[in-house]
Amino acid sequence: MLIKLSAATRLPHVVDWNPAGVQYGDTMAVVGGNNGSVLLDTVYLFDLRTNGWLLLPNRLSEAKADVTAFTVSKSVFRKCD
């Protein structure tokens, strides 16, 4: 699926330097980065229904830029009890 972004779909906060972008299902996430003065610990998910960005409540354990993000199937991990 192609996601078309425009000025109306910009992130709600500046993310200038080196966030990670990753496909997540039929959408995408932007993880970390730098806003020009501080490193970010944020994770944004693009919401296809609203054509906008959703700031997720989960944060990185440490603010980071120059990172890599990827998805992994749940089957890779042992089941937690």
Which residue, 74, 22, 24, is CA-closest to 32? Answer: 22
The 3-state secondary structure of 15-71 reads CCECCEEEEECCEEEEECCECCCCECCCEEEEECCCCEEEECCCCCCCCCCCCCCCC
pLDDT at 57: 92
Domain ranges of the chain: 11-60
- Taking only the tens place, the pLDDT of each residue in 51-61 is 888 888 989 89
Q: Are 64 and 43 in contact (CB under 8 A)?
A: no
Mean pLDDT across the stretch 56-80?
80
- Taking only the tens place, the pLDDT of each residue in 1-15 is 445 555 556 777 777
